[in-house]
Amino acid sequence: MSDFGYCESDVCNREGCDGVIQMRKAENCSCHLNAPCGACTAPRHYCDTCEWDEEDEEIPTPEPYKGEVWKYVPPPPLDPTRVDWRYIPHTHFTMIKEGVYPVHMTRAEVEKEVVGTFGGRFEYFGGGKFKYIAYTD
C-alpha cells in the first residue's frame, strides 16, 4: 500500500512533501445529463507544495492475457439413482425442469420433488425421464 496521498485533504508525502492534496473544480460538468461525466471523473487532484499533479501520473498498461481461452465444459451427467434435473429458462412465470428419476418411483413422488411454487405440469413422464413445467410466479 502506498504512503502517498491521493485524495483531497491527504498529506502528499511524495519525497517528504508535507503539502496537502487539493482538487480542482470540474470544468464543463454535465452530470445533470448523465452522471458521472468525464469532467468529474478526470484527474483533478494536485499538491501546491511540490507541484505534483494527478494528470501527470503514468497509468500502468495491463499486460495482454496470455492464458487459455474459456472452454465450454459440459455439465456432469444426470444421476438416475435419484430425482435429478436441470433448469431451463421458459417464460417469466415458468421454468422447465428436465431430468431423470429411478424407474420404481411414481409420478406423484417425482412431482413432489420438482413442483414449482405455484404447481406445474408434466410435459412427459416415463421410462426414467421427465420434463416438468414448474409455475414459479
Q: What is the mean pLDDT of each run of 10 residues along the chain (137 residues)?
A: 81 92 93 91 93 89 80 92 94 95 96 93 96 92
pTM above 0.85, yes or no: no
The pLDDT of residue 2: 58
The pLDDT of residue 67: 77
Q: Is residue 34 part of a domain?
A: yes
The pLDDT of residue 96: 96
Strand-pairing partners, residue 23, are 45
The pLDDT of residue 4: 87
| Domains of the chain: total | 2
Strand-pairing partners, residue 122, are 132
Element (H, E) at 123: strand 120-126
Same domain, 13 and 49: yes
**Domain ranges, residue 100:** 84-135
The pLDDT of residue 109: 96
Q: Is residue 74 part of a domain?
A: no
Q: How far apart are CA 131 and CA 119, in angstroms?
A: 14
Q: Is residue 101 part of a domain?
A: yes
- Residue 54 corresponds to which cell in the numbers above? 494527478
Q: Is residue 69 part of a domain?
A: no
